[in-house]
Structure 1
């Protein structure tokens, strides 16, 4: 189902211009219009889904599988990348700006200037255990 006004749905439907690197019946992968680095790709499901919660497991798995294949292709390409980041922004608080699920596959180059390291203090074991318990409880409630 496509959403009116969604730029990625427009790309999938060929109603918006895009430089497509790969496509199949489930996904379209195209060059990011505002790339972090040269070769930055987006893997987008053809079906409109805002985030992970809206995406079925089979489609999600396929997006990640294609992302893996594209990362390998980037490594082997003439672009000369030295590393890869696979990045997902799921929700506004996680920096999602286009609300159609998409996976970033970003080639990295020495001194490319992109950095997102944060200073993360070590968390106490009791708090980690409590967080793990909350996640286990959520998993159990979905089965």
Structure 2
């Protein structure tokens, strides 16, 4: 395993909240003021590796973070973002971004990707089999 900043570099004083399987810190390169990261305490690289009980813990912590931001701050809601597998940043492991959203923040106007084609008919057929 390469050096993981989440396993080796997060200082206890930077942990703002935690659950049995996750902890929350402020993002060091925030998209928006109040941008939080929920980081797994175990070194998972993909959501598919995480046991269901641990995922439930993540959802419960997300609910608490969202409620706090929506109830106590001038936040319209949040965007919950996560990367998995090969798109994970080098030197990190599984984590979820909680990005507060504000009136006219133009969040979606700044998301730029290069369109890539997939067979949507095949996707629809495979989804029906789940």
Where do 5+ consecutive residues of structure 2 fail to align?
none
Where do 5+ consecutive residues of structure 1 fail to align?
none
2:70 corresponds, among 46, 67, 75, to 75
User: Following the alignment from structure 1 to structure 2, what is the Cα–Cα distance between the partners of residues 62 and 88?
Assistant: 16
TM-score with structure 1 length normalisation?
0.70
Q: Report what 1:7 is aligned to.
A: 5
| Structure ranking higher on relative contact order (CA contacts 8 Å, 6+ apart) | 2
- Counting only pairs closer than 5 Å after superposition, residues 77-96 of structure 1 correspond to structure 2 as 77-78=72-73, 80-93=74-87, 96=88
Q: How many residues matched?
A: 125
Query: Which entry has the higher C-alpha Rg, 1 or 2?
Result: 1
Equivalent residues of 1:7, 1:16 under 8 A apart:
no
TM-score with structure 2 length normalisation?
0.76
User: Following the alignment from structure 1 to structure 2, what is the Cα–Cα distance between the partners of residues 4 and 33?
Assistant: 20
The runs of at least 4 consecutive aligned structure 1 residues that moved more than 6 Å come to none
Distance 1:77 1:106, change over 3 A: same
Q: Report what 2:47 is aligned to.
A: 52
